[in-house]
Chain A
Amino acid sequence: MDKVQCVVVGAGPSGSACALSLARKGIETVLLERGQRAGEKNVASFVLMTPVLDHLIPGFRDEAPLERLVSDHCLAYLGEKDLVQLRWRLQEHTDRGLAYTAYRSKFDAWFAGKAEEAGAELLTGVLVTDIIRENGKVAGVRIGDEELRADIVVGADGIHTVVGRAAGLVEDDPRTYLLGVKEILDLPPEVLEERFQLAAGEGICYEMVGYAVEDIMGATTLYTNKDSVSLAIFGWVDQLRERGIDLHDRLQRVKEHPYVASLVAGAELREYQAHIISNGGRMDFTKLYSHGVLLCGEAGGFNDYAYIGVPPGMLSGMMAAETAAAAVEKGDFSAAALSGYIPRLEKTGLTRLLYNSRTASRYLVDHGRANLPGYLDHLVRIMGGIFEDEVTYLDPEPYAFARDFYHHIAENSVPRALRRPLRAAIKAFSPLASAMRKRKIRKAMR
Chain B
Amino acid sequence: MKKHREAIEAKLATVKIEIDKDAHITVKKELCPDCPTRPCIPACPAANYAWEEGADQLAFNYEGCLECGTCRFICPLDAIDWSYPRGGFGVRYLWG
> With contacts A105-B95, A269-B14 known, is A276 near B70, CB below 8 A?
yes
- The reply to whether A274 and B39 contact each other, CB–CB distance below 8 Å, is no
- B51 contacts the other chain (CB 8 A): no
- B76 contacts the other chain (CB 8 A): yes
- The reply to whether A41 and B95 contact each other, CB–CB distance below 8 Å, is no
Query: Could you give, for residues 1-39 of chain B, a 1 whenever the CB lies within 8 Å of some chain A CB and a 0 otherwise?
Result: 000100110011011001000000000000000000111
Query: Could you give, for residues 80-92 of chain B, a 1 whenever the CB lies within 8 Å of some chain A CB and a 0 otherwise?
Result: 0000111110111
Selected interface stretch from A81-89, A242-250, A256-264: A242-250
Q: Which residues from chain A contact B92 at a C-beta distance below 8 Å?
A: 35-37, 40-41
Q: Which residues from chain B contact A127 at a C-beta distance below 8 Å?
A: 84-87
Query: In the complex the two chains form, what is the Cα distance from A246 to B95 in whole Å?
Result: 23
> With contacts A35-B92, A42-B93, A181-B45 known, is A240 near B70, CB below 8 A?
yes
A-B contact count (CB 8 A): 135
- The reply to whether A244 and B37 contact each other, CB–CB distance below 8 Å, is yes
Query: In the complex the two chains form, what is the Cα distance from A360 to B14 in whole Å?
Result: 35
SS class of chain B's interface: helix, strand, loop or mixed? loop
- The reply to whether A172 and B73 contact each other, CB–CB distance below 8 Å, is yes
Which residue of A has the minimal Cβ distance to B88? A125
Which residue of B has the minimal Cβ distance to A184? B95
- The reply to whether A240 and B74 contact each other, CB–CB distance below 8 Å, is yes
- A159 contacts the other chain (CB 8 A): yes
Query: In the complex the two chains form, what is the Cα distance from A323 to B84 in whole Å?
Result: 29
- The reply to whether A246 and B42 contact each other, CB–CB distance below 8 Å, is yes
Of A243, A252, A275, most B-chain CB atoms within 10 Å:
A275
Contact of A41 (CB < 8 Å), options: B8, B15, B39, B93 = B93
Q: Which residues from chain A contact B12 at a C-beta distance below 8 Å?
A: 272
Query: In the complex the two chains form, what is the Cα distance from A127 to B88 in whole Å?
Result: 8
Q: Which residues from chain A contact B66 at a C-beta distance below 8 Å?
A: 272-275
- The reply to whether A241 and B76 contact each other, CB–CB distance below 8 Å, is yes
Query: In the complex the two chains form, what is the Cα distance from A32 to B35 in whole Å?
Result: 39
- The reply to whether B45 and A241 contact each other, CB–CB distance below 8 Å, is no
Interface size class on chain B is 35 or more
- A174 contacts the other chain (CB 8 A): yes
Query: In the complex the two chains form, what is the Cα distance from A121 to B64 in whole Å?
Result: 32
Of B42, B76, B84, B96, most A-chain CB atoms within 10 Å:
B96
Residues of chain B from 37 to 85 with CB closer than 8 A to chain A in the complex: 37-39, 41-43, 45-47, 66-70, 72-74, 76, 84-85
Q: Which residues from chain A contact B43 at a C-beta distance below 8 Å?
A: 179, 240-241, 244-247
Query: In the complex the two chains form, what is the Cα distance from A275 to B46 in whole Å?
Result: 11
Q: Which residues from chain B contact A272 at a C-beta distance below 8 Å?
A: 11-12, 14-15, 66
Query: In the complex the two chains form, what is the Cα distance from A93 to B43 in whole Å?
Result: 38
Query: Could you give, for residues 146-166 of chain A, a 1 whenever the CB lies within 8 Å of some chain B CB and a 0 otherwise?
Result: 000000000000011010000
Residues of chain A from 203 to 262 with CB closer than 8 A to chain B in the complex: 228, 237-238, 240-249, 252
Query: In the complex the two chains form, what is the Cα distance from A172 to B37 in whole Å?
Result: 21
7 contacts between A and B (CB under 8 A): A125-B88, A159-B69, A181-B45, A244-B43, A245-B42, A272-B12, A272-B14
The chain A residues found within 8 Å of chain B, CB to CB, are 34-37, 39-44, 103-105, 124-127, 143-144, 159-160, 162, 172, 174, 177, 179, 181, 183-184, 228, 237-238, 240-249, 252, 269-276
The chain B residues found within 8 Å of chain A, CB to CB, are 4, 7-8, 11-12, 14-15, 18, 37-39, 41-43, 45-47, 66-70, 72-74, 76, 84-88, 90-96
